[in-house]
Structure 1
């Protein structure tokens, strides 16, 4: 049976391939197809009848098995029907579509439009060639007039000139009897040039000229170089006067036709000839195509149905075994199932299924053990993430937050856990940070492809909501990398304290160098000015002496101002380390305010000191400097805003916070507040809004606050949308852990100092 199936399938395949080859060659080699068509048709009919008989016999056997009730008969019939439908339905559909397409396509080959296009092409070629002929005729006729009075001895030079004027390849002057007078061009090198026929001489004498085309009647094989075609014009040369006894002369001009024009003209002519030949044979061509298509359909349908039955029988038994095994596995029984000892793939499939059930049983135990280990590892990983001081965020390619740890919430000061499943840009105050991170990952993709980098690292500066002050800026350094599955890992640390310390150290070094470089020349300048005043005193007139004294006083005053500035630089650079001891903050405030009691009351200082404030950890001397700097800044700002009218006030307030663990010192002024750009950098050295300020006051305050571990805040006071002043707050830790009474608002001991 296997040999019979193999030989039958090979025969059908060979016949089909031969018919496909002949069908492909039918258009260009119709004679070959017609010679073998009858033989192929007879062979196909015999094979089709044989397949039909076999198909009837197999169908009878299937019906007989079904009536006997043999197990698997229905499955076998179903498989055979499925395979038959798979082969027959697409084949029939393709046949119908191909039949209509072929019938209409053959007719479309010989459409009126195609024939009209070919005729139009022929007419266009003829018109173009006629135009070339007429052009050469008219130019040759005009050129012949130039030879009327030229004697035969000097005709060669005139012919050269005419050939150049007409762009011709050859120009020859003949007598009426066909004798060569002179020539120019290629004919000059020929011993016996081709002369016009007597008929052409007579036509030229009768019609005063004649022109024709040569070379287009020679057909060249496909792909060969087209022949050389030329236009010949023969014009009579008129004699001046009435010299009837003189023999007439004729001018022959030859001009080559462009090769592209010749090739196109021959191609259109050849296409028109082939079109006319195939138009006459289109009926037979259609019959051959449709006949071949029909025979192929019969072979394909009968072969498909027969193979469907045979393959269905081979598939039925192993599939039944597999079906029983699947029911067994579905019920949870993973014992090995029955196997077939055949050598084909389906027998191997039953054996593989039995091995698979055994492997499933083994894998079930391994999976249960692995799941327990995986849960333990996941718990350990989550514990590590929760206890990391660094922030960790896992994002997808679109910037959506997949996972975070508490360190990320602590560093970024944003509730990231509540935004898992949302875009990082949706987190309040992190839109810019999310955009920068996305840009870093996009740039990393390019760098990874070009240089093979496995991560990126970048520093960011964030501003929490409600902040805006330089001291609330969060400086972080982030590191990003790609995770499997297009996920992205972002790890970052808060380096604000490091940045602040580096900035303070840098400014301190700048201040030290400035103090050193500026202070040295100040004393010689002052002494030189005073010495100049002393030497010139009594030696100049009173007007010049007054100018001299005024100039010297200006130099001395400015040198003193420079010395004070240098001293402030020195103090900032050499600020000693704080000696933290228990200090009564209220007493320090009262002690500092006593220095302002004797000053003119241009600005009123109002105090609100909380008597419940316990002692704090601090350096009393440095705290006095802090209060003095802040109070002086507040008075200057208030005085500037009020224009010296003395209607503003400064409020100094101490208060124990609600937790009872920190004491807050607050100073409020009634000035113009700070601009946004100054507010963010107010604690940097040499940043000031005063015309004569050095910008070191708040920098010293920030440095002392850092030494005390105090939190400092700077903001504008806004009432009903308008800025009414500025406020500086410092929060100090208590000297020792001790119970404290919660702060009660509005309970304080107000005093007023002018």
Structure 2
């Protein structure tokens, strides 16, 4: 994609000027085209006087309209030139000079040619109609007529001779006689008719006609009166001005066949001869006739021809003048436009506008100057565009960096050299649990609750300066323990990294590793549990057996008081050994929890089976169950899930009982309401892809610091206990890929108990199973 800046829209004045130029060009082209068409029509009319006479008024009117339009266009051009001159626009004087020069160059030769052509046309037209020419045409026409009359008379005489030849031939033998007559006189057709117009016989082409054309009654009367008659056929049918070969003209003669002797009783007969005329004679006769006709027509239209030629010359002169002025304006504009473009471009560049200027086509010096100027402005524009693009990229990079910082889970703080907070990201507020954005512009050591952290960070940067100078380090890293809000039981573990930024700024990046520390602590407890189970369990049995053996050996040998002391001591040893064994077993279970064997498990049936172990509690309403019958099979280890449910129920019952005892002790009259029940619930998730198990108690809940570490070993709120119950639950949940949540239940702003929820994935066998108890809340029996 080009980096060239887009051209800004033209101003209204520039658009109007462009529209005027287009309008002027279109009108000029239209008028010129109409004028050329009229000249062509006039030229065509010169050879066709009839067409000219028929369309004279129309052509004259169109010529007047074109002349008026040309005058208006020329007037508009002159008005624009004068207006530009009065407005003082650059190049106006040059345009006027060029227009005047081109107009003079076009008008003066045009006027000279017009005068000479007018005289030439006038004298030429008069010379066309001379008396000698007219006499020669009349003589030629008479000569042609005489020639045709002579030929007609000759054919008439041949008809008489033919009639004499067949006068004694009977009608039955007329065919052979007619054929001899046709061959003798060179006729194309010979026919013998009766006086009533009946055909007796024929020779030639007419023999093949069923009904040959018979002579008219007038033609027969003339032949009976004069003996013979002839006329020419075919010349009158030729239209005037027809081109092509001459027509086949013939001479048709009809002669009376006289009877021999005094045979007055016989029927009158007529012989008809058809003889073709020579083509040369016919062509010459037609040519003379056509020439005489055209001469007479031109003689009658002499004035119209003169007007026609003069009109054509006048229109040509007007078009020449118009073209000269128009070319003057156009060429003058072509010469002045580069200068105008340069002047306008200089004003734009001076005003800081680096838009691409117009580049004029052409290979002359002015066109090259506009191209060089446009290249210069383009390079300036590209340079400024590159700077703006770089600034835009910097802004975009800054925005992207800010977006990344805003979405980082790590905290980021930019500090000055004196420890003043320049900027922070939301991750820093989330990790340090402090609205650091409100403390920008202040030192980190002045933020309440972070004074020690700020001092430690300054100390780390001071040591980093020394280390960097000695060893060339580029960053430092250190772990911190913070107590936000000053609470000793609320601790946040951080790992921070610091580095120097340009401009003596400092970058501090830190992450909350409390969960990692918790995981490491759990792993350490697992290792401790394994070692304790190995080191402590082995001597417990010998201790218990030794105590019991002492009691057995000494029983009955001591006095009453000593015997009581012995029994009490042995019992104490045995009880403590049992307690130690239970502790060791819990550590062993936590440390050596076997890998889960995930199979399809009916969670509802498993819960119902476990609740049978708490039958006494369920009878007295201390445990309630809400089991969703829609729950399908889940993926799990039945034995480990049984341990999870048992631990959760036992913790919930202990918490509920402790809360009930506390409320009873705090009651003024020593009486309190009965303890609320523990609720076990199963539900199919809204997505239908997971099953949730929830255990709710009505205890005192957990403190905030305990909630964050409740699943760590040896974290407990009980006076007696190892704190391994929820740790084992968390470990089993992780083996099952289940999500576990622990939270306090809040009602009317007060803590009314705690809730543990586990979300299990479905087994591939996703058919639903019926619960062993109804879904309504009720004791399970």
How would you bin the TM-score normalised by the shorter chain? 0.3 to 0.5
After TM superposition, the score normalised by the length of structure 2 is: 0.42
Greater Rg by CA:
2
After TM superposition, the score normalised by the length of structure 1 is: 0.43
